[in-house]
Amino acid sequence: MTSSTGDELRAAVAARRDLGPDFEDSIIESFLDKMGKEVDRRVDERMAADSGHVRRELQQQQNVAGMRLALAIVSLVMGTIATVALTIGESDLLAYLAVWGGVALVNIAFTLSSTRR
């Protein structure tokens, strides 16, 4: 209990002593109403703090998804250009494997680094 909650409880008990048992129900209702409002206020504060965190997390996930899409597009374009260049130069299978293996390694490295964050 915080001091304000404790103060409210002490005030309710003191009011009960001063006013007697005839006002007990009203005193209890008033105390519970104040405590309910305090709980609501605290819950609202926590939800506001949590929603800010959730928004930042969602934005970060969207940024990573955008970077993944960009990397996929650039990888395919660069891999295709390299493949066409190798085909014109009549390169061997090892050159093709090096190009597409490099593309795969870059994509794997990015995926692993983004999942660690």
In angstroms, rounded to a whole number, what is the distance separating the alpha carbons of residues 1 and 87? 76
* 100 pLDDT tier (thresholds 50, 70, 90): very high
The pLDDT value recorded for residue 117 is 59
CA 90 to the chain's CA centroid: 51
Q: pLDDT by residue (tens digit) across 27-67? A: 888 888 988 898 899 888 888 877 777 788 888 888 888 88
* 104 pLDDT tier (thresholds 50, 70, 90): very high
* Residue found by looking up tokens 């493949």 in the block: 83
Which residue type occupies 89? Answer: G
First-last CA distance in the chain: 38
How much is the pTM? 0.48
* 2 pLDDT tier (thresholds 50, 70, 90): low
In angstroms, rounded to a whole number, what is the distance separating the alpha carbons of residues 18 and 13? 9
Length of the chain as a residue count: 117
